[in-house]
Amino acid sequence: MSDNSSLSHLAAMTRPCWLRRAVRNRQRHAIEQASRRWRGTRRKFDSHTGEKRKAVEKSLQGDVAEAKALETSYADASKALEEASSRATEAEKRAAELTEGRKHRVVALRKAEAARKKEQAVIQEKEEFIREQSEAVHKS
């Protein structure tokens, strides 16, 4: 019995390089076609006019324009974020100033209230003293 697998291997090894290349290209082409059929796309290339290159260049120009637009929008967003951050910082400072102002006003109001109470106490003492003196004068 003879083994045919060794003969087919030998036959493949003795093919001329142009034939091997043709077989490889045919297989590669079949695989590409199958994948395109599966994806539902067609190849946009004419080797004579270079339309694929034009399509790629057009696509790249669109990508560059989109990248520039994204860069501009990113810069605008960064600027807006920075402005919002500075406004928030200013608002926090103003709130702190107002809080400090309120604290000072509260302290001042408390001191004024304490002084008013002391004044009222002194006035009451003076009134009592005057009453006592007037009663002492009336009795004598």
Q: Is 75 in the same domain as 133?
A: yes
Same-domain check for residues 85 and 72: yes
pLDDT per residue, tens digit, the chain (140 aa), is 455 555 555 555 677 788 888 888 888 888 777 777 776 655 555 555 566 667 777 777 888 888 888 888 888 888 888 888 888 888 888 888 888 878 888 888 888 899 989 999 999 998 888 888 888 777 76
Scored b (16 or more CB within 10 A) or e, 16-31 reads: eeeeeeeeeeeeeeee
Number of domains present in the structure of the chain: 2
**Residues 54 and 97 placed together within one structural domain of the fold:** yes
Could you tell me if 33 and 49 lie in one domain?
Answer: no
Q: Are residue 55 and residue 25 in the same domain, yes or no?
A: no
Domain of residue 67: give its range.
44-139
Within this chain, do residues 36 and 60 fall inside the same structural domain, yes or no?
Answer: no
